[in-house]
Structure 1
């Protein structure tokens, strides 16, 4: 069968508000023709039946089933039910979420479900029922291979419908945003960044392991590590929050990482880096640590500050620099909790 006789593929993609331009470039290079978009949301068409593209900055990818626009939620649900006609039913999960309506961190904005999307999710679940959905509630974490029905609220009265099969951990999370329930009020949003980075990386952090965080103040990420039962060293010239500084499994070095002797890192399995310095300087610091004979780091989670999305063009060069360390594996992702920055997950031999 020729390509002209194959069915086209329609896709819908979510990303951080402001990252849609780089997502458009990435999918266009793979033969996708752009269609409707808004900040944080992109749709496109491929003339052939194909798999959905992946990219560092694509948070979620779904096969699009169309959209609906109305001020009446039940009218939109009727539209959704029409779109499901003829598809294999029921779906295993229902995920409903809003697109990012502001850059992450601006006006304290964080991605994920909000009051409106939660109400919509509840109503859709009620209306569709067991004929369409197997899940007991909406927005549960999907299991691998689950078929997920996706509803993105581009605006409260403008919904896009899609579906995907859960595979990697972010594809199992509603809207690609990790559900986290902290034991205590986090000291900073770095808690959520660390939680997502650790889960996404697949690193096997265990109670009693020693982790080092470079750029630790005031202690958000350290809080997550301590919560997981790890011993933690924090390196930062700035002061730590007393709740972290006084923790019995925490040590603080009020210095820059490059100024400390390598013996400080002895016994550490995990290295987290989130410093407000240029990426090249960050990589230089990390290289000097992991290549030292006195260290035995098994995994690094490195936050690379972009400043603006145009600097994403530097990511391949940074990757080549990390490859010089001869790691076992490198993965790069714009985490849902990242601002204008990306996370390098580096597994060392």
Structure 2
């Protein structure tokens, strides 16, 4: 069973069908499939979570569903390490202010499941904790409040350790915009070693959500955007703003910067052209780029291989691409450059 963003299930279905998976039940943001062999769980840019299904239950009575869950795990080696409970995305990200992750219903369900399963079936003392690598996770997806799917997965990569593939993050202050959460997730997922005192540049910085995360982490930050920055960012002693477009600035502006974040409302080809001009300059020594590529609609995902080939011309050390849990209809390229 696979979780994804509401609207991305069509791409997920295409990606797993080519590997021999036969499609089964699905809803927006949730896909299940079967395979004739004991195939490894597939991975894809748009798959947020992947679990081996143990079955499902449908009832208006939560205790009946928990009994079904207990039945489904009875043949497993118990106790399991973690319990992750989350709802499928009920709407496209950002529409009506919707954000993915746990809600009040799923948190109440998680508490009840934890209480009923007890320490003989679960080692964790709380639901939705971040799992450690190699730990076994019991997944419960609320397709609807009265329709649950059960599964398990082994934690490996960082997103597989997060409940529902959504990074738990607690801002120090109220974020200026949702770009804070996108930046936090992109930085964590990329594995980039951002450290206090490093210089980061963000292209498309207004009003300052991502810059807020970078400043919170102790970095020095340059923001580039013709639009105005929020005063809380603009007046920060470790922040400098250039009210211009990135392509109009001399390359010396980027001198000394180690990290480049790009999240502009321009077409992907123009974004890549701008970034290439920056990283190819003799005056820059960028180590890592986090580039948001706007799709507009999911059909444009067919362009991702072409964009990847363009980035490969930069001769990077590594390229990773993911539809982050906080991304709307866009993907993030994490590009590690050679130094």
TM-score, normalising length: structure 2 = 1.00
C-alpha separation between the residues in 1 aligned to 2:34 and 2:106? 26
Local SS of the residue matching 2:133: coil
Counterpart of 2:332 in structure 1 is 343
- The one of 321, 324, 327 equivalent to 2:313 is 324
The aligned counterpart of 1:149 is 138
Matches within 5 A, 1:66-105: 66-105=55-94
CA offset at residue 293 of structure 1? 0.2
Matched, 1:234 2:215: no
Q: Which residue in 2 is equivalent to 1:4?
A: none
Q: Distance in 2 between matches of 1:308 and 1:161?
A: 31
1: CA distance between counterparts of 2:120 and 2:170?
31
Q: How does 1:122-137 map to 2 (within 5 A)?
A: 122-137=111-126
User: Unpaired segments of 5 or more residues in structure 2?
Assistant: none
Aligned twin of 1:25: 14
What's the CA shift for 1:85? 1.2
- CA deviations 1:129-169 (Å, max 9, x no partner) are 01110001100000010100000000000000000000000
Does 2:214 match 1:209?
A: no
CA distance in 2, matches of 1:81, 1:194: 38
The answer to whether the aligner puts 1:278 opposite 2:292 as a matched pair is no
Question: Is 1:263 paired with 2:252?
Answer: yes
3-state secondary structure, aligned to 1:130: coil
- Cα distance between partner residues in 1 of 2:12 and 2:176: 32
1:187 aligns with 2:179: no
CA distance in 2, matches of 1:37, 1:155: 12
C-alpha displacement of 1:121? 0.1
Distance in 2 of aligned mates of 1:227 and 1:81: 43
Count of residues in correspondence between the two structures:
338
Q: What residue is the counterpart of 1:246 in the other structure?
A: 235
CA distance in 1, matches of 2:79, 2:305: 42
1:289 aligns with 2:278: yes
C-alpha distance in structure 2 between counterparts of 1:182 and 1:38, whole Å: 32
Matched, 1:36 2:4: no
Instruction: Determine the C-alpha separation between the residues in 1 that align with 2:137 and 2:323.
Output: 22
1:95 partner SS: strand
Instruction: State the 1:192 CA deviation.
Output: 0.1
Residues 255-297 of structure 1, C-alpha deviations (whole Å, 9 max, x = no match): 0000000000000000000000000000000000000000000
Deviation at 1:86, TM superposition (A): 1.4
Runs of 4+ in 1 over 3 A off after TM superposition: none
Q: Distance in 1 between matches of 2:74 and 2:170?
A: 37
Q: Which whole-Å CA distance do the structure 2 matches of 1:130 and 1:274 have between them?
A: 45
